[in-house]
Amino acid sequence: MNLPTLFRSITVAATIAVLSLSPAHAQIPKPLADRLAEQNALFDEQYESDLKYNPERATAYADYRYNDQLAQYNLAAIAERHKVNEAFLARLKAIPTAGFSDQDQLSHDLMLRLLQQRITDFNLKEYEMPINQQNGIHTGLADLPNSIPLDSVKHYEDYIARLHQIPRALDQTTEVLRQGIKDKLMPVKFLLEKIPAQCQGIIDADPFLQPTKKYPADISPADQQRLTQQITDAINNDVFPAYKKFAAFVQTEYAPAGRTTLAITSLPDGQKRYENDIYARTTTHLTADEIHQLGLREITRIEAEMLVIAKKEGYADLASYRAALKTNPKYIPTSADQILDDFRHYIAQMQPKLPELFTVLPKSPVTVEAIPAFQSAAATHYNLGTPDGKRPGRVVVATYNFAERSLIDDEAIAYHEGIPGHHMQLSVNQQLTGLPKFRMHGLGFNAYTEGWALYAEQLGKDVGFYTDPNSDYGRLSSELFRAVRLVVDTGIHSKGWSRDQVVDFFRKSGAVDEPTIQSETDRYISWPAQALSYKLGQLKFRELRERAKTELGPKFDIRTFHDEMLSGGTLPLDLLDARTNQWIAAQKAN
């Protein structure tokens, strides 16, 4: 090519390049309505995909299309779900959000965060450690009779179909656990050693037979007899042999390979793994040391408030007050039923007070029950009911070793797990309208859900409860408990604390009773950073309340503030903060 020709070619190429970058030739985004429709269609498709891959979750949402199925738990299914998540994320990122309303932008950002977190967790192979002494497929399946509809012959037959699939589910989990052994991604050995006894406890208790104890009146005697026989056969021929096989695998192969160092940072990519756990559970970028120091400051603040109560009660210091409470028979349970009755009493007394705190109220009922003996390592917790209220929310209470427990913080924990805590927030979440379906259920942002529940403990004081100073001390003990968690969780996983160090720190704090100290210490070892979410979330809700009160002055209404806190669904703390600022600005304008 001669020089004039070369120069002409360069000039033409440069002209094309300039034209391609000019506004006239830039890709024109789709109209706003089309982009919104595309995003909403993606949300619906993603939500449906989640239900299809998680039949148990669909049942929990009162969607019974997959009611006769258990999820696929094998490595191939996990990899398939990962590819689906990557595809949804790529499609979502390709939708320009210019001109979206605040609500539509928030939905976009939430789905983005949800998918990104799933992909990060997959890349760290978090799925290779799916069981521990607190929970896992072995305890989850045992709770199946409490988590499904049993109001028709069809639903009983669905349950039987699921019982037959338990061997497959446990075998697939075993495949995943074996991969964890190969990749050296292992829970702590001494905690894994508890699991075979849990499996035997499930066999001994036989919760799977529970649906045969009481049938709906409209199921005929002949059908009842047939269903009972089929359930019994499935348990004896499929469920129990599968549990025994799984327990033997854990005992002889899995637990012996467990890690002996407590800190999650001892695993491959350990530091990155703990940082991811902190971000996933707290939705903050605080470092482990920042959280540790915050915990120490909160302990000092809370203990100062406790000392005020102690002195009013005639004690010179906190230690003597605590010692007196510990031996006061008024606060020592005489039975497991007494603990359950305590919870029922406090939830019942809060119910008529809710209109003083909210204008939107939960429509579904809430019940109280004891944690089964085979799951005694679990802490008191809440299980969500169905949106239609046919299956109530359940506050499931730790009563094991009741004589070693205390009633002192029952009031606070009842408000936390029931109303106005978890049952309030999660039930209202299911009642929301005008939002994509995926936002009507918990999204795994623990700092919001647990932060709200801890914040809700203080709302009893706002409506005139905690009249017994000792019960108010119990409220502060519950808060102190969550502050201690900031210190010991980071102590274990960032500072190399031993189990004895954690137990000793707990005992010196006086925050909780001995059975709770033991089970909670093991919980933090096996579930890194989850316990950080309570205090960090609570502090954010308190901060937002004070900000709204200051900014709005006489316009501030605690009921509409709480409605606003719940009306956006489960949110990361930074998005909750931004949304609250928008609400404050709108209140000022009105």
Q: What is the pLDDT along the chain (590 residues), one digit of tens a residue?
A: 443 333 344 343 444 444 344 444 456 889 999 999 999 999 999 999 999 999 999 999 999 999 999 999 999 999 999 999 999 999 999 999 999 999 999 999 999 999 999 999 999 999 999 999 989 999 999 999 999 999 999 999 999 999 999 999 999 999 999 999 999 999 999 999 999 999 999 999 999 999 999 999 999 999 999 999 999 999 999 999 999 999 999 999 999 999 999 999 999 999 999 999 999 999 999 999 999 999 999 999 999 999 999 999 999 999 999 999 999 999 999 999 999 999 999 999 999 999 999 999 999 999 999 999 988 878 999 999 988 888 999 999 999 999 999 999 999 999 999 999 999 999 999 999 999 999 998 888 999 999 999 999 999 999 999 999 999 999 999 999 999 999 999 999 999 999 999 999 999 999 999 999 999 999 999 999 999 999 999 999 999 999 999 999 999 999 999 999 999 999 999 999 999 999 999 999 98
- Within 250-285, where are the H helices? 270-282
Nearest to 258 by CA among 175, 174, 176, 191: 191
Q: Which residues of 550-569 are buried (b: 16+ CB within 10 A; e: fewer)?
A: eebeeeeeeebbbbbbbbbb
Give the span between the Cα atoms of 354 and 396, in whole angstroms: 22
Beta-carbon-side half-sphere exposure of residue 450 (alpha carbons within 13 Å): 20
For position 388, what pLDDT does the model report? 85
Nearest to 130 by CA among 143, 142, 121: 121
Q: Which residues of 48-83 are buried (b: 16+ CB within 10 A; e: fewer)?
A: eebbebbbbebbbbbbeebbbbbbbbbeeebeebbe
Q: Determine if the peptide bond prior to 4 is cis (ω within 30°).
A: no
Count Cβ atoms below 10 Å from residue 367 Cβ, excluding itself: 16
CA distances from 352 to 195, 347, 419, 460 (A): 42, 10, 11, 12
β-pairing verdict for 381-383 and 393-397: antiparallel
- Residues 34 and 41 sit within 8 Å (Cβ to Cβ): no
Q: Give me the phi and psi of 358, to 5 degrees please.
A: -145, 160
| β-bridge partners, 527 | none
| β-bridge partners, 204 | none
Question: By three-state DSSP, how is residue 353 classified?
Answer: helix
Count Cβ atoms below 10 Å from residue 30 Cβ, excluding itself: 13
Residue type, 588: K
Helix axes 469-495, 288-312, angle to 10 degrees: 160
User: Could you tell me the two tokens for 415?
Assistant: 């408000």
- Report which DSSP code applies to 395: E
Beta-carbon-side half-sphere exposure of residue 387 (alpha carbons within 13 Å): 16
CA 441 to chain centre: 11
In the numeric block, the tokens 């656990």 are attached to 177
User: Could you tell me the two tokens for 378?
Assistant: 């679990």
For position 9, what pLDDT does the model report? 44
Determine the longest span between alpha carbons in the chain, in angstroms. Answer: 104
User: Could you tell me the two tokens for 266?
Assistant: 């001892």
Q: Which value, in Å, is the radius of gyration of the alpha carbons in the chain?
A: 27
- Please report, to the nearest 10 degrees, the dihedral formed by the alpha carbons of residues 344, 349, 352, 353 taken in order: -120
Give the span between the Cα atoms of 93 and 17, in whole angstroms: 26
Q: How many helices (H) and strands (E) does the chain have?
A: 25, 3
Give the span between the Cα atoms of 150 and 219, in whole angstroms: 11
Please write down the long-range contacts of 35-40, taking CB distance under 8 Å and 24 or more positions apart: 35/95, 35/96, 35/97, 35/100, 36/100, 36/104, 38/95, 39/92, 39/95, 39/104, 39/107, 39/108, 40/436
Give the span between the Cα atoms of 186 and 203, in whole angstroms: 26
CA 114 to chain centre: 14
| Residues whose CB is less than 8 angstroms from the CB of residue 103 and which lie 6 or more positions away in sequence, other chains included | 434, 435
Beta-carbon-side half-sphere exposure of residue 379 (alpha carbons within 13 Å): 17
| Residues whose CB is less than 8 angstroms from the CB of residue 433 and which lie 6 or more positions away in sequence, other chains included | none
Give the span between the Cα atoms of 312 and 298, in whole angstroms: 22
Model confidence, pTM: 0.92
